[in-house]
Structure 1
Amino acid sequence: MRCELITFGIADQLFGIDIMTIREIRAWSPVTRLPRVPEYVAGVVNLRGAVLPVIDLSIRLGWQATECTPRNPIIVTEFEGQSRGLIVHDVNDIVSLDAEDLQQPDAVQNDYITNFLEGVAPLGDDMVMVLDLTKLMANDELDLAA
């Protein structure tokens, strides 16, 4: 069985998300900050009249905040009836992988990022880390923002 992913970069690392969870990729627009939300919630934007919570994926994965510019796209995901925007550094390609190529990363002790991965797969000379939206959105407090 094959899976199709949108690949994108964060902090010079290659990530992927199942293409079936992507609603759209939109250009950067400034976010409105909200009080009392987790640090990784950048804020909200207006998505055709709907309030869209936006996550700084870099912070969510345990890295430094993204210094956003008009070059930063927002990937809009639709997952379990909830829409979320993900700030990424750049969007690369749509790729197709064999599901059996997806390997579980060896959990390095205290490696925060492996908690959010569905797996890792070779892609040319690189490795793509495939994010698991179930884990990424679990226990989030974004419902307060929507």
Structure 2
Amino acid sequence: MTQPGTTFSMDDPAFVERVLKARARRLAAARREAAPVSQGLSVLCFQVAGEAYALPLDSLAEVLPLPPVTPVPGLPQSLLGVTNVRGEIRPVFNLHDMLTLPEPEAGQRCFAVFLRAPGRPVGLRVNEMRRIIRLDSEQLTFPHESGNGLPQRFIRGISPDTLILLDPQQILAQDVLQDRRADYRRSL
């Protein structure tokens, strides 16, 4: 050990040797066992009408404060409308309607969670953003079918702490997103 107040210099061969030996001991020491990496599914948590929901991170394109949405006449109520994101027109769905939940209050700040979809991302209106967590998919329970079956169609599972994991494939499989022009051309 050195005495307090002692100064060291890189010109001092004894000091350099002590530093190099300490470094060599540290590098030669056995590595500690690495902590196991948590297996599971990374999800983005958010709120819709006071309930906690999540979507897998690998299915998301981006999250933005909800831009102005233009309603599209003649389309289902589950489609809130379309919005312009950096010059690209994107559909935005009303999760409140799809999940049969009460609508947010007028003027309430909302967000758009955009799912990766063939062609262009598809938005979902949500109330609040929460956090990103890892879910153990083996601990998910699956909702039982109810009389109408509609909301359960979009649910992939429920965590022990009642976080509802939505199924992006089911959301993207809605008829309103299907391009019927190809079907029309084939029928001619």
TM-score, normalised with respect to structure 2: 0.68
Q: Does 1:30 align with 2:65?
A: no
Q: Is the 8 A contact 2:67 2:84 kept in 1?
A: no
Q: Does 1:58 align with 2:96?
A: yes
Please list every run of at least 4 consecutive aligned residues from structure 1 whose deviation after the TM superposition is greater than 6 angstroms: none
3-state SS of the aligned residue for 1:127? coil
Question: Which residue of structure 2 lines up, in the alignment, with residue 136 of structure 1?
Answer: 171
Quick one: which amino acid aligns to residue 5 of structure 1?
V
Q: 2:83 aligns with which of 45, 48, 63?
A: 45
Cα RMSD between the aligned structures? 1.9
Question: Which residue of structure 1 lines up, in the alignment, with residue 140 of structure 2?
Answer: 102
Q: 1:118 aligns with which of 131, 135, 156?
A: 156
Q: In structure 2, do the counterparts of structure 1 residues 36 and 88 end up closer, same or farther at CA, with 3 Å as the change threshold?
A: same
3-state SS of the aligned residue for 2:145? coil
Shift of 1:28: 2.0
In 1, the alpha carbon distance for the partners of 2:75 and 2:107 equals 22
Bigger proportion of residues as strand: 1
- Point out the structure with max Rg over C-alpha: 2
Q: 1:78 aligns with which of 116, 122, 132?
A: 116
Count, aligned residues: 141
In 2, the alpha carbon distance for the partners of 1:28 and 1:118 equals 25
Q: In structure 2, do the counterparts of structure 1 residues 140 and 64 end up closer, same or farther at CA, with 3 Å as the change threshold?
A: farther
Q: Is the 8 A contact 1:17 1:132 kept in 2?
A: yes
3-state SS of the aligned residue for 1:141? helix
Q: In structure 2, do the counterparts of structure 1 residues 68 and 56 end up closer, same or farther at CA, with 3 Å as the change threshold?
A: farther
Shift of 1:32: 1.0
Deviation per residue, 1:46-87 (Å, 9 max, x gap): 111110101111111122333453620111111345411110
Identity among equivalent pairs (%): 28
Question: Which residue of structure 1 lines up, in the alignment, with residue 18 of structure 2?
Answer: none
Q: 1:19 aligns with which of 57, 76, 84?
A: 57
Bigger proportion of residues as helix: 2
Q: 2:130 aligns with which of 92, 99, 108?
A: 92
3-state SS of the aligned residue for 2:121? strand
Gaps of 5+ in 1: none
Quick one: which amino acid aligns to residue 39 of structure 1?
Q
In 1, the alpha carbon distance for the partners of 2:106 and 2:125 equals 8
Q: In structure 2, do the counterparts of structure 1 residues 140 and 62 end up closer, same or farther at CA, with 3 Å as the change threshold?
A: farther
Q: In structure 2, do the counterparts of structure 1 residues 82 and 103 end up closer, same or farther at CA, with 3 Å as the change threshold?
A: farther
